[in-house]
């Protein structure tokens, strides 16, 4: 199942995806100005009817959709100050990825080089797709694993999640490279090759624990889960907290699936209140079967 926060999804308009009633909800993003400002959009209930008739997304279509997105993304990066073109940014990004695009405006203000780099895919493109009946009624999503160069020029596996509304192209929601020495877990597939639903209760606990850790408000482990001792967050937080750090207001969409060995994989990002977008932390996590430890497979800090 897809677990999604009630975030508005565009700069020039207001798109929404199903809301999670018991999760903290940041103010929606709309940004016609330099900084994001609130939107009046409201998200439909997570229990919305999913039986609406629509063509089922196939793995080959999802794979092609990502390749098409990469082409559009690379073309956009060639445009002068692309991050200032709201319609262009809207056509490519949602949620956390949208916040990263907005942060390019800060890079411009500080005369820093853009943080976004062209994507040149190499190797096999793997798609993780839920059953058609498990897709939300307001759109489709999939997770992809692809190899391309990171911001330092090293070829690395990355994991990305995409979402589309009916009649619209897919847009990037969240992405992160996989840490050196780690790999994506094998998913538990059904007889038709679709991934199996993640556990929403564990997803809530895991995102709660990451928010708590980074915002440093409660005793660690209050959620029932703890970050692994060797996690990126444990190493990064002391250094990051000394700089210009803005507390995270919540998280975006949580994508995930059950793994072949009984564990749970999650992909999501922590985000600021849109009025004060300073950084985005994207996470690819694994909770092994029977464990209360959150292992970090990949992470990306964008500020």
How many other C-beta atoms are found inside a 10 Å radius of the C-beta of residue 78? 8
Note the pLDDT of residue 232.
86
Residue 290 within a domain: yes
3-class DSSP state of 208 = helix
**Which residues does 190 contact at the CB level (< 8 Å), separation at least 6?**
131, 196
Residue 242 within a domain: yes
Number of domains in the chain: 1
Which residues form the domain of 220? 200-302
Structure tokens, 89: 């940014």
Burial (CB count within 10 angstroms: exposed 0-12, middle 13-18, buried 19+), residue 166: exposed
Residue 76 within a domain: no
Note the pLDDT of residue 151.
82
Residue 190 within a domain: no
Give the pTM.
0.85
State the DSSP H helix or E strand holding residue 164, giving kind and residue range, or none if neither. Answer: strand 155-164
Residue 281 within a domain: yes
Note the pLDDT of residue 236.
85
Residue 187 within a domain: no
Note the pLDDT of residue 31.
34
Note the pLDDT of residue 54.
74
Report strand pairing: 250-251 vs 226-227. Answer: unpaired
What is the signed CA dihedral for 252, 133, 68, 300, rounded to 10 degrees? Answer: 30
Residue 142 within a domain: no
Residue 237 within a domain: yes
Report strand pairing: 226-227 vs 171-177. Answer: unpaired
How many other C-beta atoms are found inside a 10 Å radius of the C-beta of residue 121? 14
Note the pLDDT of residue 27.
29
Chunked into runs of 10 residues, the chain (303 residues) has average pLDDT values of 44 31 31 29 35 78 97 97 95 94 91 93 95 92 95 92 95 96 96 94 95 86 93 84 80 95 97 87 97 96 88
């Amino acid at each position: 199942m897809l677990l999604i926060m009630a975030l508005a999804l565009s700069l020039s308009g207001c798109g929404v995806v199903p809301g999670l009633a018991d999760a903290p909800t940041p103010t929606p993003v709309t940004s016609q100005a330099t900084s994001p400002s609130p939107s009046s959009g409201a998200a439909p209930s997570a229990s919305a009817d999913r039986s609406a008739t629509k063509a089922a997304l196939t793995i080959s279509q999802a794979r092609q959709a990502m390749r098409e997105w990469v082409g559009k993304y690379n073309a956009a990066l060639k445009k002068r100050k692309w991050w200032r073109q709201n319609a262009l940014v809207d056509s490519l990004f949602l949620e956390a990825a949208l916040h990263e695009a907005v942060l390019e405006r800060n890079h411009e203000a500080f005369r820093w080089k853009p943080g976004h780099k062209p994507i040149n895919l190499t190797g096999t493109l793997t798609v993780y797709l839920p059953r058609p009946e498990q897709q939300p009624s307001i759109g489709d999503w999939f997770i992809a694993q692809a190899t391309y160069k990171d911001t330092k020029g090293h070829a690395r596996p990355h994991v990305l999640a995409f979402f589309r509304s009916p009649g619209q192209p897919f847009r990037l929601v969240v992405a992160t490279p996989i840490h050196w020495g780690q790999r994506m877990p094998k998913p538990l597939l059904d007889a038709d090759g679709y991934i199996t639903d993640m556990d929403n209760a564990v997803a809530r606990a895991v995102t709660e624990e990451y928010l708590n850790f980074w915002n440093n408000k409660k005793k660690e482990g209050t959620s029932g889960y703890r970050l692994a001792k060797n996690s990126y967050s444990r190493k990064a937080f002391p250094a990051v907290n000394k700089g210009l750090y803005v507390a995270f207001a919540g998280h975006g969409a949580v994508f995930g699936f059950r793994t072949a060995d009984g564990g749970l994989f999650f992909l999501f990002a922590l985000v600021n209140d849109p009025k004060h977008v300073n950084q985005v932390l994207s996470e690819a996590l694994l909770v092994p079967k029977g464990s209360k430890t959150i292992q970090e497979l990949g992470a990306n800090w964008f500020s």
